[in-house]
Chain A
């Protein structure tokens, strides 16, 4: 035992820091939501700490899921006593229900109350039986269970000695003890640590006999350890790693020693480990002086300090956000994203998932086709869907229209569909528009003109503000205006239509003005400069009223139920193919006979047809290719420029006078020419029709 400086300095302690495992907040949230509700009475909790185990990093007082009163739902058995790195320490948690009440908590008196408990335990002797109570702690918190963020503040109450303890000497234990003593002390500590009964007792006595034999005893055996020729050290698990300072638990330890045994100088032993064994280089031995101020009795309750500093060194609360691991919507989003990423990793490395999640889809029609398309779009990770539908959910709808249930009957479809999407996946961005699509062949009166034009404008704005338009309505003529608007705005349009037992799915070609704008820079040969056709390109009549005067079964769209899912799914798969294609809307149409049967690197998703037609009466499906027609009533250059020039009056005329479009596009002329022409059908060469492909 050698002397160091003669003049003692004030003993400075390293503060204790908290570490709250994520699992604690998870368990606490469940507890609050399931059991506590608005009850904010204090909750007894258990903290855990152990001796320092690393020369560069201090240990902390930790809260884990098992810090809270027992969770019956847990699949893991909670830690029983005897875990060497988890000495249990009693604590108390005050969780408030609002941020304001958190800020208003009387921190002084809360701290004082806990300090008083420590003092009482010292006075009563409980601290000798169960010394862990010397490290009693306090947490105040506010758990925001809507945002999944937690504000909290720990206090480690320390009784302030007056006058403060002063340090006489402090050095590494390996320098203080002789090598024989050190070996014996190490062995005794390791034995203490290896026994389940003692390993979690953080305060103890180290008795070193004159023949260098060390033994470790419980605090309550202090009297028994009094004897000649024994050096007695007050040992404790020191979480701190610093070589020149003992850890926080020593504070209350000194208060205990002074109060119970009236000692004025105290030899202490800061026990630290590395790799699971006692490390006497890291551990410290020191001597402190704890004289009482004159006139003061040992029974006065000392003051207390101990609010924790945050990780920037300020004495303010800490905060943590766990939304990423607790907010159910975020969890759903990451699960869905994971699914798509797995598809990309395992099967389709070139898949552009960012593109899919950002594309905005406009669905005109929220019936059998609209519902199926929406669901399949969600499966591909598309998050932005707008529904346009004028109708309400009828009693016959829920069985065929997969977004609606019985409860939705009577609601506007556009509204019910949006609600349904959000229920399926909360992170969907979806809106519904209740508006009727103006149709040629259904003349309107002059009073209705203004509102119809307003609807046209609305439709036009919707198309402009989306990237893809699905034409899923139940009549031919209702597809005319959207087709025209898409061609005008050069927006991707996917069209699906059903017959009784047949279906048609197609993608419209680029708009006519796109040729001059976008494709100047592309090096494409003459054949590819031809645009693909739209739904109306092959018509020789303008769209007309197809509904009135038909028999009832032809007026209601009656189709075999299997068709809508097939056609809806094909429409979405076709869209994804276009989106992933480098040329997008300008991609040329493939035929299934051209492919070599497999996907190659250029076309990882396979071929990209123009039209798909199929029937369930034959269980067959073919792909078709059609070029844009110069006489098309919806997408020809004539019609588009007329629309651009005359706007509303053009639309009104088309709606009210169906022959107008035929005259404009020259279809009238064509028909006259056809009627006066004798065609010899026998010599017809091969056309664009493909061999039917059996599915």
Chain B
């Protein structure tokens, strides 16, 4: 068997990640049309990698909308605006006071971790004006089963760390347990021992990880 096509120790190479990512995105597009598709964001490779033909990058799924009920948006810093220095300017044909529902948007990135050699799910939430959501608020948007999963499971917990390419803190599902439970998954599902084909890696991985953030994938994707 071509060793580059299969994973037997729960870990991925960086080339394997690129292959798995495209396979995942393609399957998602076909089977999961209730969501927009994942897009591949290539990284500008600043170091000279003459032999490396595969571009590096990550998968991105952005602006997923979750409508919560009309609640007070988080208080901004107190606005000491003394006077509204605009004159009366509004003519009649102007605004309907747009009662915006408090919409929460989520961005998800699947990024390869070269130190753990596994994919990592990064995510963040923000409201319509762009203000980032805190973890407490995000947890309220998560399905209740995932909140208990986070509490009990020692495989999955959310931490806040710097996004490897965007230089600001994002939330992520910590990858330290990934290698172990991928091995468990591959043992139970594939008949030929612990091997898992590379292009199924991300699909299997996401079937677990996605549940934590409320993104389910249809079973057909696992075939």
**Are B67 and A57 neighbours in the complex by a CB distance under 8 Å?**
yes
Which residue of chain A has the shortest Cβ distance to B132 in the bound complex? A22
Which residue of chain A has the shortest Cβ distance to B82 in the bound complex? A103
**Are B91 and A76 neighbours in the complex by a CB distance under 8 Å?**
no
A-contact bits for B78-121, CB 8 A (1 contact / 0 none):
01011011110111111111101101000000000000000000
Report how far A461 CA is from B181 CA in the complex, Å: 54
A56-B67, A57-B101, A334-B169 known; A165 and B93 CB under 8 Å? yes
In the bound complex, residues from chain A placing their C-beta under 8 Å from that of B98 are: 14-15, 17, 58, 242
In the bound complex, residues from chain A placing their C-beta under 8 Å from that of B176 are: 342, 346
**Are A13 and B94 neighbours in the complex by a CB distance under 8 Å?**
yes
Is B76's CB within 8 Å of the partner chain A?
yes
Question: Pick the contact of A318 from B36, B129, B166 — CB < 8 Å?
Answer: B129
A58-B100, A107-B86, A149-B77 known; A309 and B95 CB under 8 Å? yes
Report how far A138 CA is from B89 CA in the complex, Å: 17
Is A326's CB within 8 Å of the partner chain B?
yes
Report how far A54 CA is from B128 CA in the complex, Å: 13
In the bound complex, residues from chain B placing their C-beta under 8 Å from that of A19 are: 128-130
**Are B44 and A75 neighbours in the complex by a CB distance under 8 Å?**
yes
* Minimum CB–CB distance for B31 against chain A, Å: 15
A10-B92, A76-B166, A307-B86 known; A320 and B76 CB under 8 Å? yes
Report how far A75 CA is from B174 CA in the complex, Å: 23
Is B154's CB within 8 Å of the partner chain A?
yes
In the bound complex, residues from chain A placing their C-beta under 8 Å from that of B140 are: none
**Are B132 and A245 neighbours in the complex by a CB distance under 8 Å?**
no
Please indicate which of the listed interface residues B130, B161, B168, B174 has the most CB atoms of chain A within 10 Å of its own CB: B130
Is A305's CB within 8 Å of the partner chain B?
yes
Is B126's CB within 8 Å of the partner chain A?
yes
A17-B100, A311-B73, A319-B76 known; A54 and B167 CB under 8 Å? no
In the bound complex, residues from chain B placing their C-beta under 8 Å from that of A10 are: 92-93
Please indicate which of the listed interface residues A18, A57, A74 has the most CB atoms of chain B within 10 Å of its own CB: A57
In the bound complex, residues from chain A placing their C-beta under 8 Å from that of B132 are: 22, 322, 324-325
Which residue of chain B has the shortest Cβ distance to A339 in the bound complex? B159
B-contact bits for A105-144, CB 8 A (1 contact / 0 none):
0011000000000000000000000000000000000000
Is A666's CB within 8 Å of the partner chain B?
no
Report how far A63 CA is from B161 CA in the complex, Å: 24
In the bound complex, residues from chain A placing their C-beta under 8 Å from that of B93 are: 10-13, 161, 164-165
Please indicate which of the listed interface residues A12, A75, A107, A151 has the most CB atoms of chain B within 10 Å of its own CB: A75
Is A375's CB within 8 Å of the partner chain B?
no
**Which residues in chain A, 363-377, are within 8 Å of chain B measured between CB atoms?**
none
Q: How many pairs of residues, A versus B, come closer than 8 Å at their CB atoms?
A: 144
A12-B96, A13-B94, A107-B86 known; A342 and B174 CB under 8 Å? yes
Is A82's CB within 8 Å of the partner chain B?
no
**Are A341 and B84 neighbours in the complex by a CB distance under 8 Å?**
no
* Minimum CB–CB distance for B58 against chain A, Å: 9
Report how far A15 CA is from B126 CA in the complex, Å: 21
A-contact bits for B166-195, CB 8 A (1 contact / 0 none):
111100001010000000000000000000
Which residue of chain A has the shortest Cβ distance to B45 in the bound complex? A75
Question: Pick the contact of B76 from A13, A18, A321 — CB < 8 Å?
Answer: A321
Chain A interface SS verdict (over half): mixed
* Minimum CB–CB distance for B168 against chain A, Å: 5
**Are B160 and A338 neighbours in the complex by a CB distance under 8 Å?**
yes
**Are B73 and A22 neighbours in the complex by a CB distance under 8 Å?**
no
**Are A23 and B168 neighbours in the complex by a CB distance under 8 Å?**
yes
Report how far A54 CA is from B101 CA in the complex, Å: 12
Is B41's CB within 8 Å of the partner chain A?
yes
**Are A341 and B128 neighbours in the complex by a CB distance under 8 Å?**
no
**Are B84 and A54 neighbours in the complex by a CB distance under 8 Å?**
no
Is B42's CB within 8 Å of the partner chain A?
yes
Is A316's CB within 8 Å of the partner chain B?
yes
**Are A319 and B77 neighbours in the complex by a CB distance under 8 Å?**
yes
**Are A20 and B129 neighbours in the complex by a CB distance under 8 Å?**
yes
In the bound complex, residues from chain B placing their C-beta under 8 Å from that of A24 are: 130
* Minimum CB–CB distance for B74 against chain A, Å: 10
A14-B98, A311-B73 known; A316 and B157 CB under 8 Å? no
A-contact bits for B123-137, CB 8 A (1 contact / 0 none):
010101111101000
Which residue of chain B has the shortest Cβ distance to A161 in the bound complex? B93
Report how far A233 CA is from B104 CA in the complex, Å: 34
**Which residues in chain A, 247-276, are within 8 Å of chain B measured between CB atoms?**
275-276
**Are B86 and A317 neighbours in the complex by a CB distance under 8 Å?**
no
**Which residues in chain B, 146-173, are within 8 Å of chain A measured between CB atoms?**
154, 157, 159-162, 165-169
In the bound complex, residues from chain A placing their C-beta under 8 Å from that of B82 are: 103
Report how far A164 CA is from B132 CA in the complex, Å: 39
* Minimum CB–CB distance for A31 against chain B, Å: 13
Is A21's CB within 8 Å of the partner chain B?
yes
Which residue of chain B has the shortest Cβ distance to A62 in the bound complex? B130
* Minimum CB–CB distance for A353 against chain B, Å: 14
**Are B101 and A305 neighbours in the complex by a CB distance under 8 Å?**
no
* Minimum CB–CB distance for B126 against chain A, Å: 7
Please indicate which of the listed interface residues B84, B95, B101 has the most CB atoms of chain A within 10 Å of its own CB: B95
**Are B86 and A108 neighbours in the complex by a CB distance under 8 Å?**
yes
* Minimum CB–CB distance for A593 against chain B, Å: 33
**Are A331 and B130 neighbours in the complex by a CB distance under 8 Å?**
no
Report how far A324 CA is from B79 CA in the complex, Å: 19
Is B215's CB within 8 Å of the partner chain A?
no
In the bound complex, residues from chain B placing their C-beta under 8 Å from that of A76 are: 41, 43-44, 165-166
Is B222's CB within 8 Å of the partner chain A?
no
In the bound complex, residues from chain A placing their C-beta under 8 Å from that of B94 are: 12-13, 15, 305
Is B145's CB within 8 Å of the partner chain A?
no
**Are B168 and A60 neighbours in the complex by a CB distance under 8 Å?**
no
In the bound complex, residues from chain A placing their C-beta under 8 Å from that of B81 are: 103, 316-317
Report how far A71 CA is from B109 CA in the complex, Å: 21
**Are B85 and A107 neighbours in the complex by a CB distance under 8 Å?**
yes
Which residue of chain B has the shortest Cβ distance to A10 in the bound complex? B93
**Are B84 and A316 neighbours in the complex by a CB distance under 8 Å?**
yes
Report how far A120 CA is from B136 CA in the complex, Å: 49
In the bound complex, residues from chain B placing their C-beta under 8 Å from that of A58 are: 98, 100
A10-B92, A108-B86 known; A345 and B157 CB under 8 Å? yes
**Are A321 and B129 neighbours in the complex by a CB distance under 8 Å?**
no
Report how far A331 CA is from B93 CA in the complex, Å: 47
A165-B93, A311-B100, A319-B79 known; A26 and B168 CB under 8 Å? yes
Given contacts A319-B79, A321-B77, A342-B176, 14 further A-B contacts (CB under 8 A): A15-B94, A17-B98, A22-B132, A22-B168, A24-B130, A54-B65, A57-B67, A58-B100, A103-B81, A245-B96, A305-B91, A324-B134, A331-B169, A342-B159
Top 7 nearest A-B pairs (CB, nearest first) are A164-B93, A20-B130, A319-B76, A75-B165, A10-B93, A19-B130, A319-B77
Interface residues of B (CB under 8 A from A): 33, 36, 41-44, 46, 65, 67, 73, 76-77, 79, 81-82, 84-87, 89-98, 100-101, 103, 124, 126, 128-132, 134, 154, 157, 159-162, 165-169, 174, 176
User: Could you jot down 6 A-B contacts, CB within 8 Å?
Assistant: A13-B93, A21-B126, A22-B124, A56-B101, A315-B84, A338-B161
Interface residues of A (CB under 8 A from B): 10-15, 17-24, 26, 54, 56-58, 60, 62-63, 74-77, 103, 107-108, 149, 151, 160-161, 164-165, 242, 245, 275-276, 303, 305, 307, 309, 311, 313, 315-322, 324-326, 331, 334-335, 338, 341-342, 345-346
